[in-house]
Amino acid sequence: METNNTYPETLVECIRYFSDPQVCRDFVVSMRWSDGVKCPFCQHDKVYTIKTRGTWQCKSCKKQFLVKVGTIFEDSPLSLDVWLVAIWLLTSAKNGVSSHEMARSLGITQKTVWFLAHRIRHILQTGSIAKMTGTVEVDETFVGGKAKNMHKERKERTIKGRGASGKTVVLGIIERGNTQKDENGKY
């Protein structure tokens, strides 16, 4: 596999560079397995390619896998070209980019871009495209104004007490107690 160390610097270059599915696949392979492809299930390094399907099969556990398995891309129906352009857009914008603007640029829904952006921020924070493992804690809360600060008509519509009516849901997720090391020896 030939690795190209010159990455796209403009949006036009990015779209052209990642327009070929094989280039996208090779790019993710080089980022994920710099020392050669390993089985994401058993970490065995003896794998062979099934060229007709574009997959690998492990000689140890006999499982077949794609480059997306075990990464943030795994459960997404979007192709790698959309993912990689989205990553480029988020990381190259000096002042950030809104999910609405990215949705228009990528030709997908804002809801999908919101999902992509959260996963992309996760990889930027952790430095790895691997999905969360170990114990994952999730908590939510409802945030909203007090009834006494609302207009009279809205106050009458709002259910009294600690209900969620008229409030925004805030969700937090954190990975705790990860006992598996990645290929760099980090938890």
Structural domain range at position 174? 135-187
Tokens matching residue 181:
């090391």
Residue 9 lies in a domain: no
The CB-based long-range contact list for 69-75 (8 Å cut-off, 24+ gap) reads 69/40, 70/40, 70/130, 70/131, 71/28, 71/32, 71/129, 71/130, 71/131, 72/119, 72/120, 72/122, 72/123, 72/129, 72/130, 72/131, 73/28, 73/129, 74/131
Summarize pLDDT for 133-156 with one digit per residue, the tens.
667 777 777 777 666 677 777 666
| Backbone region of residue 66 per phi and psi (left: phi > 0; alpha: psi in -120 to 50; beta: other values) | beta
Residue 163 lies in a domain: yes
The maximal CA–CA distance of the chain, rounded, in angstroms, is 69
Residue 112 lies in a domain: no
Q: Choose among 187, 185, 169: nearest CA to 177.
A: 187
CB 138 within 8 A of CB 146: no
Q: Pick the residue with more confidence: 15 or 4?
A: 15
The strand pairing partners of 134, in sequence order, are none
Q: What mean pLDDT comes out for the span 152-171?
A: 64
Residue 52 has what pLDDT?
81
How many distinct structural domains can be found in the chain? 1
The sign of the dihedral angle between the CA atoms of 71, 99, 90, 17 is positive
Q: What residue type is assigned to position 27 of the chain?
A: F
Q: How far apart are CA 64 and CA 142, in angstroms?
A: 43
Reply yes or no on whether the pLDDT at 21 is more than 50.
yes
Residue 119 lies in a domain: no
Lowest mean per-residue pLDDT among 22-26, 78-82, 133-137: 133-137
Residue 181 lies in a domain: yes
Reply yes or no on whether the pLDDT at 132 is more than 50.
yes
Residue 145 lies in a domain: yes
Residue 19 lies in a domain: no
